[in-house]
Amino acid sequence: MALLSVLIIIIAVLLILVVIIQNSKGGGLDANLASQNQSFGAKKTTEIIEKVTWYLIGALAILCIISTKSISGGSDKDLGDAQTQVEQVTDSEEGEE
């Protein structure tokens, strides 16, 4: 569970950094990256950063769903055990009468 939480935090921080780098309406750090790396060009850099953004969003969503399922899965098991114990106590009380 701790590993899953750490992965979610790392991906969230990476997503923040990638969003900051993106070129929004002519500004941002993307223009600086494109000017330094002439082999890719500005359009290619923008496409790569956009793809990375979508992959990070997808990974974050999947990890959050897995985290939620693992938390709720543990709760359901605990509730099932408690219900079984209540039924056993009820059955034993009925047998005593």
* Distance between CA atoms of residues 69 and 85, nearest Å: 24
User: Which amino acid belongs to residue 44?
Assistant: K
Amino acid 64: pLDDT:
94
Q: Are 18 and 58 in contact (CB under 8 A)?
A: no
Domain boundaries, the chain: 2-92
pLDDT tens digits for 48-62? 888 999 999 999 999
* Distance between CA atoms of residues 58 and 14, nearest Å: 13
* Distance between CA atoms of residues 12 and 70, nearest Å: 20
Whether pTM > 0.85 for this model: the answer is no
Amino acid 11: pLDDT:
96
